[in-house]
């Protein structure tokens, strides 16, 4: 008897181990895939950032310590690139969130043709950012752009504004395009969260005499907050790494005034052919995002959310 019990005692963890092994083996292909396609390039990038690695002279690749980082940080463009990246993320995110929330609230109630309308709202999200950049670039064009044309026809301006020829305008223009592109994603996420709020809560709130605004403030917003927090985190990561729109609209110009880290990195690769410095910029982006994520998660305690 006792022997038997001992045996089962022994067997138990053993069997679990087998099970664990089985699960591990099932996951192995996926783990390998991620390792090969995500971690290997990431490590390569990190290694490259410490190397002299230019296409001009591939036979002369050697470690140069922190020279690439020093080169990037001390370059005259760096402060502006950092500032631009900050504005790019903050302005884009704020308005995307605001408009996304409004859109989601509008699309919540059933109305005729809602499905079609939703499809239209979400459409930008399915398009390539590069293409969107090209479209906006033509729209902002001073000679044949529709935006100037409309402003002229309505009499708001009396001479076309060369949006993409002036640093301040150009930054506003790329942020505008990015807001248009990103609103849909927030709308999708928030709409999903809205649709999971039980109707009873509103009934109860109405019973207690809460008005429309009170209901929004005390029921809707607290309920979708976790979703918003996670979405904001994801969007910060994506927006900071999203060069497509800027690259196809202005290539970082005029005179470098619309460069963010991501476009600055592309320029280093395409024109400068300097993979070492480009990787250094990449590593800087990762560090910024890591720091941000750690603080953000600590500040918002996202683990309370988890509405996914």
Partner 1 sequence: MKVSKWLSAVLSLVLSGGLIAGCSQPASNPPASSSGGTGQAGQTITLKMVESITSPQRTELLKEMLAKFEAKNPGIKVDLISPPFEGADQKITQMLMAKEALDVLEVREFNAKQFSMNGFIENLKPYTDKWKNYDQLTDIAKRRATWVDNTPYYIPNGLYQRVLFYRTDWLKEAGLEVPKTWEELLVAAKKLTDPAKNRFGYSFRGGPTGWDYALITIWAYNGTQVDPASAFFLKDGRTVFSTPESLEALTFYKQLYKEASPADSVSWGFQEMVQGFVSGSTAFLIQDPDVIDGAKEKMKEGTWATAPLPIGPSGVAQQVVGGPGWGMTAYSQHKEEAWKLIEFLSDPEQSTTYAKRTSVIPVVKSAAEDEFYKTGYFKPFIDMNAQGQTYIDVSRPVDYKGWGAWQSAADKDIQSYLLDKISAEDLLKQWDQYWTKEKAERK
Residues in touch with partner 1 (CB under 8 A): 16, 19-20, 23-24, 27, 31, 34-35, 38-42, 44-45, 48, 54-59, 77, 141-144, 159-160, 162-167, 170, 234, 237, 240-241, 250-256, 262, 265, 267-275, 278-279, 281-283, 285-286, 289-290, 293
Smallest separation (angstroms) from partner 1 to the CB of 17: 8
Minimum distance of partner 1 from residue 240's CB (angstroms): 7
Exposed/middle/buried for 68, CB within 10 Å: 0-12, 13-18, 19+? buried
Q: Looking at beta carbons only, is 273 or 300 nearer to partner 1? A: 273
Give min distance, CB of 227 to partner 1, in A: 17
- At 267 the three-state DSSP class reads helix
Q: How far is the CB of 8 from partner 1 (least distance, A)?
A: 18
Instruction: Give the H/E segment covering residue 153.
Output: helix 146-153
Nearer to partner 1, 151 or 286 (CB): 286
Do the Cβ atoms of 49 and 65 come closer than 8 Å?
Answer: no
User: Shortest Cβ distance from residue 244 to partner 1 (Å)?
Assistant: 12
Task: Work out whether the CA dihedral 221, 227, 229, 231 comes out positive or negative.
Answer: negative
Q: How far is the CB of 286 from partner 1 (least distance, A)?
A: 5
- Give the residue with the Cβ less far from partner 1, 179 or 278: 278
**95 or 274: CB nearest partner 1:** 274
Between 84 and 250, name the residue whose CB sits nearer to partner 1. Answer: 250
Residue keyed to tokens 């979400």: 122
User: For partner 1, which is the closer residue by CB, 120 or 144?
Assistant: 144
**Cα–Cα distance list, 229 to 25, 108, 132, 219, 308 (Å):** 34, 20, 27, 16, 12
State the angle between helix axes of 129-140 and 167-194 in degrees (0 to 180), rounded to the nearest 10.
Answer: 130
The answer to whether 278 and 46 have CB atoms below 8 angstroms apart is no
C-alpha span between 65 and 268 (Å, rounded): 19
- Give the whole-angstrom CA distance, residue 135 versus residue 141: 10
In contact, 99 and 176? CB cutoff 8 Å: no
Q: Nearest distance from residue 16's CB to partner 1, in Å?
A: 6
- Residue closer to partner 1 by CB (options 215, 273) is 273
E-state strands within the chain: 51-52, 62-63
């Amino acid at each position: 008897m006792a022997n038997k019990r001992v045996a089962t005692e022994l067997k138990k963890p053993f069997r679990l181990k087998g099970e664990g092994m089985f699960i591990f083996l099932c996951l192995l292909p996926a783990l390998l895939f991620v390792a090969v396609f995500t971690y290997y390039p990431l490590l390569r990038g990190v290694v490259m950032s410490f190397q002299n690695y230019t296409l001009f002279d591939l036979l002369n690749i050697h470690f140069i310590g922190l020279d690439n980082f020093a080169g990037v940080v001390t370059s005259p463009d760096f402060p502006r690139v950092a500032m631009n990246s900050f504005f790019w993320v903050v302005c884009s995110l704020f308005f995307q969130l605001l408009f996304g929330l409004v859109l989601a609230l509008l699309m919540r109630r059933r109305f005729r043709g809602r499905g079609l309308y939703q499809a239209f709202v979400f459409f930008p999200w399915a398009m390539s950012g590069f293409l969107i950049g090209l479209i906006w670039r033509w729209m902002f064009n001073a000679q044949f752009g529709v935006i100037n044309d409309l402003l002229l026809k309505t009499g708001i301006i009396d001479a076309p504004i060369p949006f993409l020829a002036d640093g301040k305008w150009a930054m506003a223009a790329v942020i505008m395009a990015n807001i248009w592109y990103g609103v849909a994603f927030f709308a999708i996420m928030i709409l999903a969260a809205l649709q999971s709020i039980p109707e009873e809560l509103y009934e109860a709130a109405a019973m207690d005499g809460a008005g429309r605004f009170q209901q929004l403030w005390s029921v809707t917003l607290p309920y979708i907050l976790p979703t918003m927090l996670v979405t904001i985190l994801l969007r910060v990561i994506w927006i900071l790494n999203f060069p497509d729109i800027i690259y196809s609209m202005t290539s970082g110009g005029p005179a470098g005034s619309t460069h963010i880290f991501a476009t600055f990195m592309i320029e280093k690769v395409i024109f400068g052919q300097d993979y070492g410095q480009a990787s250094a910029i990449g590593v800087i982006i990762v560090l910024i995002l890591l720091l941000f994520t750690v603080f953000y998660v600590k500040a918002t305690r996202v683990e309370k959310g988890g509405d996914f």
